[in-house]
Structure 1
């Protein structure tokens, strides 16, 4: 399971929709499903089917991430986290200019609520750690880094045989990413369990 973490308008949906979904990931977005419970059920269903899941939600603190990590562990799925470390002011500017969200027009009231939420999420932000049960953490801070990370995952998935069981696909994908990592170390930070 690839868990995206980041403030609203940090680039999570762009990364998942433009790079990961075309590569074979199934996107699960709480903004679409409208509740954490429905999101958990959908992730559970997909993991049970052995699908590669990208969890597109803010996941701003340990408490928000914990039930999804626990669920992935139940299915012996690796938990990789991609933090989109976009500056708060960049997120704020994007949010102010956003007219549509998940295919629906945004009203002025909705935009104002999201701006208030952005401030609250910034205050309670907790960076993910391996101690939470995460297998790997990658951080991207700029649009170019996000694009490079997306291209990286897409290329990795292309090399993986879709007919293999999920555990074997994950291992092949991990090996591919580890081999290519030296090339990207100057572009984004990577933390992983030894």
Structure 2
């Protein structure tokens, strides 16, 4: 018995119009042929990785947070490391490379491609023909070099992410094949852009005196330029997520360009900073402060966000007038603050309550205490913008000379919580008067050299 035959359905008119049938388009792979070949090559036959990795700590006794990869070509780096005085520094992601898959953040070691096909040739030209020292400075907050022993998260995940990053970075540096060092900041410390810790490490590595670098011809290229959103051909181009790359260049004193400007020759776009230091010049060391003691004994209530300069103001201007300070950061609880203030008032002392006191309900408790002891209560309102307070907090926590009380950095939540609760203080709440203070840096010229940099 012959096998049954299957009768084919005749193609309809639409199908007949396509001849031959359309080919399926292959999805572009991020994995190169050389990478596949390398995978199947025995280890003994593979070329030696020319990137040497090391880690660095932001301070003595603190786990390392800076990952450093130094690539030396097979022919070596024959010249003295301090010979090159011009520095061309680049961000990594969205500047030199981007993900091949289109993902915004990719952990894969092979998911990358050049940001533009011109990138590798341009970097080689900078080193080989124009005499630049070429380096990479990149924030990599997603990496954890030394997981917290108390963390419940599996360590294997953190380790794999670091391994993948090293493999990706090594592939990038190998394709460039010029003497180059990559610095990756994984923590929120002195190494993180726009702070200049990575730049200083580069100077030490290449035996460069910062004062001898050709700042006028040096450059930093990165995508975090604070560019504003705009419309292009009817489509919205979003604003930059940050201004940290531009601010790093400003801190160092070198030229800044975005990758579009540097590699593609595009015109600069408008940019804006959430916090601009140009609005806060050095005020001088002997500026007259509009505060004086009005009563033989009084209670002064500070009101303002964390990082507004309240404690500094107390030590410089109210302590010399004989005031005693009540501060919850030191006393650890509100009850202890009230207990301490009560004792001081009973002893006839004038007292400053150094706290944020954001709303009428909080302030009312102190007004009631003042009334109980028949002492006039005054308010000093620190009208300091939140972005400026965050700047002050970081400067204080990262610079021992400006942090005599050794305060730890505050979480973003502390600033947001104040902003959500804040109500402007009014005399009708029960104050004798309200002294309003706009922020000005009140310190030495040497201190301003530290404070007057971008830290966020």
Report Cα offsets for 1:67-102 as digits up to 9, x if no partner.
Answer: 111001101111110001011111011122332666
Residues 31, 102 of structure 1: 8 Å contact kept: no
Question: Structure 1 residue 51 and structure 2 residue 352: aligned?
Answer: no
Residues 32, 102 of structure 1: 8 Å contact kept: no
Please give the root-mean-square deviation of Cα atoms over the aligned residues, in Å.
1.9
Question: Structure 1 residue 104 and structure 2 residue 406: aligned?
Answer: yes
1:132 aligns with 429
Normalised to the residue count of structure 2, the TM-score between the two structures is: 0.30
CA-CA distance at 1:46 after TM superposition: 0.8
Structure 2: gaps spanning 5 or more residues: 1-298, 444-456
1:58 match: secondary structure: coil
Q: Structure 1 stretch 6-15 or stretch 124-133: which is displaced more?
A: 124-133
CA-CA distance at 1:35 after TM superposition: 0.6
Q: Distance in 1 between matches of 2:422 and 2:332?
A: 21
1:90 aligns with 388
Instruction: Choose between structure 1 and 2: higher helix proportion.
Output: 1
1:66 aligns with 364
Residues 17, 27 of structure 1: 8 Å contact kept: no
Q: Higher relative CO (CA 8 A, sep ≥ 6), structure 1 or 2? A: 1
Question: Structure 1 residue 10 and structure 2 residue 312: aligned?
Answer: no
Larger Rg, first or second structure (1 or 2)? 2
Q: 1:112 to 1:86 in 2, by over 3 A?
A: closer
Q: 1:104 to 1:112 in 2, by over 3 A?
A: closer
1:123 aligns with 420
Residues 72, 78 of structure 1: 8 Å contact kept: yes
Q: How many residues matched?
A: 141
Report Cα offsets for 1:102-152 as digits up to 9, x if no partner.
Answer: 62352xxxx353x211111112101111221111111111226x89xxxxx
Q: Structure 1 stretch 47-56 or stretch 93-102: which is displaced more?
A: 93-102
1:139 match: secondary structure: strand
1:77 aligns with 375
Match of 1:42 among 340, 344, 352: 340
2:380 match: secondary structure: strand
Q: 1:72 to 1:105 in 2, by over 3 A?
A: closer
Residues 324, 350 of structure 2: 8 Å contact kept: yes
